[in-house]
């Protein structure tokens, strides 16, 4: 699911010209920061928009497009 979400978000970032960042919560936990895994582990993949949880498990493309148009 994470790979599918990443593909959708990468395509949308190229189309709509927004910055996309991703974090591997398992890698962060292995590096000593388990907080993201604890917070989001059952919801992965999680989409945050301006630091606020926008969705999880799948990318709701229509909703994300609408919300991105409001952020500018």
Looking at the predicted structure, is the pLDDT value of residue 72 above 60? no
Q: Would you state the pLDDT for residue 5?
A: 96
Q: What is the average pLDDT value for the chain, to the nearest integer?
A: 93
Average pLDDT over residues 31-39: 94
What is the DSSP-derived secondary structure letter of residue 4? H
Rounded CA separation 9/7 (Å): 6
Average pLDDT over residues 13-39: 94
Q: Could you give the residue ranges of the DSSP H alpha helices within the chain? A: 2-16, 25-30, 35-40, 61-71
Domain that holds residue 35: 2-71
- Residue 52: CATH number of its domain: 3.40.30
Q: CB–CB of 18/69 below 8 Å? A: no
Helix (H, G, I), strand (E, B) or coil at 7: helix
Structural domains counted in the chain: 1
């Amino acid at each position: 699911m994470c790979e599918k979400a990443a593909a959708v978000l990468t395509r949308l970032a190229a189309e709509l010209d927004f910055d996309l960042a991703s974090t591997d919560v398992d890698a962060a936990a292995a590096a000593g920061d388990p907080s993201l895994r604890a917070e989001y582990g059952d919801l992965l993949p999680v989409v945050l928009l301006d630091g606020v949880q926008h969705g999880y498990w799948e990318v709701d493309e229509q909703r994300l497009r609408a919300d991105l148009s409001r952020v500018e």
